[in-house]
Structure 1
Amino acid sequence: MNLSFFDQFTSPCLLGVPLILLAMLFPPLLIPRQGSRWLNNRLSTLQLWFINLITKQLMLPLDKKGHKWALILTSLMILLLLINLLGLLPYTFTPTTQLSMNMALAFPLWLATLLTGLRNQPSISLGHLLPEGTPTLLIPALILIETTSLLIRPLALGVRLTANLTAGHLLIQLISTATFVLLPILPAVSILTTLILLLLTILEVAVAMIQAYVFVLLLSLYLQENI
């Protein structure tokens, strides 16, 4: 039983070929593209409004030097949002429940922000490792602590996204299993668990959207410290 609960997090395979790459490439295909017409349809207009809203929110913590990252951060936000939401549909797979994928997204982008700071303002970037006015005896310990907190940032990004989505999916499957088991035994309790499952599904949709936003927002905050 426990193994069957965690089977939903294993990458599906077809003829021995893992389909995680297809699951990552499918969401961008759902985004409508602009045509050659002067006036866009309602779906394209809504898409442009949503992208502009996301870009403005992500660029708020950044100054003008960080606006060149707008395309990368907005694209990452839309990709994570679509993957998280489509993973809630039946008979689908959520690639962002894999820690390896989340770390593959978090580590290179975090490293890019760090290298940007070391290139543009090395003194200020290294100065973050030692707060001003630190007593001499505490300098080695504080440098170790700040260095550890700096290096653990990509791990925190990946684990946060993985843990939130994995916990929500497991809870939904547990409650749905309990609903089917209790249906012939206690119909009234089964109806109650169905209502709880509906509320939990709505909550998981919100979590999928919020976690995608938090992932990219934290990257933008890390970028702001290094530009």
Structure 2
Amino acid sequence: MALNFFDQFQTPTYMGMPLIVLAVALPWVLFPSPTSRWMDNRYLTGQTWAIGRFVHQLLLPINPGGHKWATLLASLLIFLLAINILGLLPYTFTPTTQLSMNLGFAVPLWLATVIMGLQNQPTHALGHLLPEGTPTPLIPVLIIIETISLFIRPLALGVRLTANLTAGHLLIQLIATAVLVLVPMMPTVAVLTSVVLVLLTILEVAVAMIQAYVFVLLLSLYLQENV
């Protein structure tokens, strides 16, 4: 048992090499690439259909200029989804519990949407900083507030993903520790707690999937404002 509950969020190393590299590279091995055959198997067909439906739903409200982001957003969703779910397996590590990694995804992509908006439609992009019909005395205050909210967006993206996954992992470990402690003393309570643990694990799988989708969805919303 770990001496500290937060030890599970430290990047493991083996012979001096951080295993986060393996954890990041492993999901790409699990997803097969399309083949050149006339007909794919059911797994590839289902995967292609699911990705197509997701991209269609995600890019439907976005102008055609933002459709070039389809491959990037779909790849990011698959990557985050695989990492989040694989991190729930025993003896594994979840890289998305590291705020630095999540900010590494959020900041460049958010900055790309902002730069694209300033290049394509600077008047519209800067117009978000000042709502229409604002009284003159409130203009400086609102510009400062909207600027701060603009720069908080990537931080909110990274913190949301990190906090949700970290909280779920900690809760699972706390309840699992309680089950091990209660087994010799109160077996009935331990069984009931185990049922709660199973339900919580199912909920955490759903949270891992939803958080990956929310991360990409918010990026698409930022893209929609700047295209």
CA positional deviation for 1:56: 1.4
The 3-state SS of whatever aligns with 1:152 is helix
Match of 1:63 in 2: 63
Greater CA deviation, 12-21 or 146-155? 12-21
Equivalent pairs: percent with the same residue?
A: 68
Residues 72-111 of structure 1: CA distance to partner in whole angstroms, max 9, x if unpaired? 1010000000000000000000000000000000000000
CA positional deviation for 1:2: 8.1
Give the counterpart letter for 1:223 in structure 2. Answer: L
Give the counterpart letter for 2:216 in structure 1. Answer: V
Match of 1:145 in 2: 145
Contact 1:61–1:221 at 8 Å: present in 2 too?
Answer: no
Structure 2: which 5+ runs fail to align?
A: none
Cα-Cα RMSD: 1.1
Structure 1: which 5+ runs fail to align?
A: none
Tell me the distance in 1 between the aligned counterparts of 2:160 and 2:32: 30
Match of 2:209 in 1: 209
TM-score w.r.t. length of structure 1: 0.98
Give the counterpart letter for 1:95 in structure 2. Answer: P
Match of 1:119 in 2: 119
TM-score w.r.t. length of structure 2: 0.98
Residues 15-45 of structure 1: CA distance to partner in whole angstroms, max 9, x if unpaired? 1111111100100110012223211111111
Match of 2:96 in 1: 96
CA positional deviation for 1:53: 1.7
Tell me the distance in 2 between the aligned counterparts of 1:3 and 1:142: 48
Give the counterpart letter for 2:135 in structure 1. Answer: P
The 3-state SS of whatever aligns with 1:138 is helix
Match of 1:32 in 2: 32
Greater CA deviation, 30-39 or 205-214? 30-39
Tell me the distance in 1 between the aligned counterparts of 2:77 and 2:144: 32
Tell me the distance in 1 between the aligned counterparts of 2:163 and 2:13: 23
Distance 1:80 1:202, change over 3 A: same
CA positional deviation for 1:3: 4.9
Q: How many residues align?
A: 227
Contact 1:61–1:220 at 8 Å: present in 2 too?
Answer: no
CA positional deviation for 1:46: 1.2
Match of 1:109 in 2: 109
Match of 1:14 in 2: 14
Give the counterpart letter for 1:19 in structure 2. Answer: L
CA positional deviation for 1:57: 2.1
